Amino acid sequence: MASYDKPEVVDRDVKGEDKDEGKGGFMDKVKDFIHDIGEKIEEAVGFGKPTADVTAIHIPSIDLKRADIVVDVLVTNPNPIPIPLIDINYLVESDGRKLVSGLIPDAGTISAHGSETVKIPVTLIYDDIKSTYADIEPGSIIPYRIKVDLIVDVPVFGRLTLPLEKTGEIPIPYKPDVDLDKIKFERFSFEETVAILHLKLENMNDFDLGLNALDCEVWLSDVSIGGAKLTESSVITKKGISYIDVPITFRPKDFGSALWDMIRGKGTGYTLKGNIHVDTPFGAMKLPIVKEGGTTRLKKNKEDGEDDDDDDEVHCFSSY
């Protein structure tokens, strides 16, 4: 092949093209142009980034099984058009350990130039917590941290994530221990007897219980002698014991053999079942009280200072 038949290799000025597409090149000019246009639109139309803040945390319902928590988040939209709240991600942890997490999709719309309080419901199931973290004991108070990510879609800015967090404390409630200390008869007859139940309540929690109401049903053997309700309020201090008086009216002639066993001094089994309604630093609670398998018998009133020969028995005292 002749030399003039060989293809000629020509080196392009690559450096020159890199210079055009490098700093100050075409792509940067496009980016700067888009950024400038975005700023001009933002200035002309008044677009801005929304803000959010946790304003309150409520515990509307709490018992031995679960705690329902509601997180109030105030979201402010400075823009002239509504913006959608795409997703809400939340996480509740204690000492770095996850208690519960979740996602709330399509959480609504924030009106133009307005503010909306977004309510985020969170439920803690105590059995799940106790089965996962054995060191969390019933009756204790644990710290928590709630982390929330609000994802919004704003013109010009696009999708934005607004991170929030709040700390606090939550209890792991424990039911009080109840016992029938004694019964004081105000009026005794086979047709109608009025008595006062002297109950001993032990608060197993690390927080006070403001006792507002109590209702329970009392059984002697397998016979229900009726219901009893608290007539005055009291406070059971944390890890403390309180004695309360609960009036009850019943018909002894309906007891059957249970009454005669008590009269003959044999004793009979008793059962208490009901609920107490209390105020706590974390809100109102309804807690169950249960006592099964106790023993009671009818005895005369003892002189003050006389020792009881059977601490395991609950004594029914005659009128005095």
pLDDT in tens, the chain (320 residues): 444 344 343 444 444 444 444 555 666 655 565 555 555 555 555 678 899 999 999 999 999 999 999 999 999 999 899 999 999 999 999 999 999 999 999 888 999 999 999 999 999 999 999 888 989 999 999 999 999 999 998 887 889 999 999 999 999 999 999 988 877 878 878 788 888 888 999 999 999 999 999 999 988 777 788 888 887 889 999 999 999 999 988 887 777 666 666 666 666 677 899 999 999 999 999 999 998 877 765 554 554 444 444 434 444 443 33
13, part of any domain: no
Tokens of 97: 């350990």
Q: State the CATH number of the domain containing residue 246.
A: 2.60.40.1820
Residue-range definition of the domain harbouring residue 276: 177-300+311-315
Domain boundary among 131, 157, 172: 172
Pairwise CA distance, residues 284 & 60, whole Å:
8
Tokens of 162: 């607004």
What pTM was computed for the model?
A: 0.70
Task: Establish if 34 belongs to a structural domain.
Answer: no
Does 198 reside within a domain? yes
Does residue 273 share a domain with residue 193?
A: yes
**Domain stops at, among 172, 187, 207:** 172
Q: Strands, DSSP E only, in the chain?
A: 51-62, 66-77, 83-94, 97-110, 114-125, 141-154, 158-171, 177-187, 193-202, 209-220, 223-229, 234-236, 241-250, 268-280, 283-299, 314-317
Residue 254, helix vs strand vs coil? helix
The reply to whether 143 and 87 lie within a common domain is yes
Indicate whether 7 belongs to any domain: no
Domain co-membership, 54 together with 143: yes
Q: Does residue 8 form part of some domain?
A: no
Q: Give the span between the Cα atoms of 293 and 273, in whole angstroms.
A: 12
Contact 85, 308 (CB under 8 A): no
Closest CA to 311 of 184, 120, 182: 182
* CA of residue 282 relative to chain centroid, distance: 8
The reply to whether 55 and 134 lie within a common domain is yes
Report helix, strand or coil for 304: coil
Q: Of 126, 155, 172, which residue constitutes the final position of a domain?
A: 172
- 65: Cβ–Cβ under 8 A, 6 or more apart, which residues? 125, 126, 127
| 2 found inside a domain | no
Same domain, 148 and 185: no
CA distances from 168 to 52, 198, 279, 314 (A): 19, 38, 18, 43
As for how many domains the chain has, the answer is 2
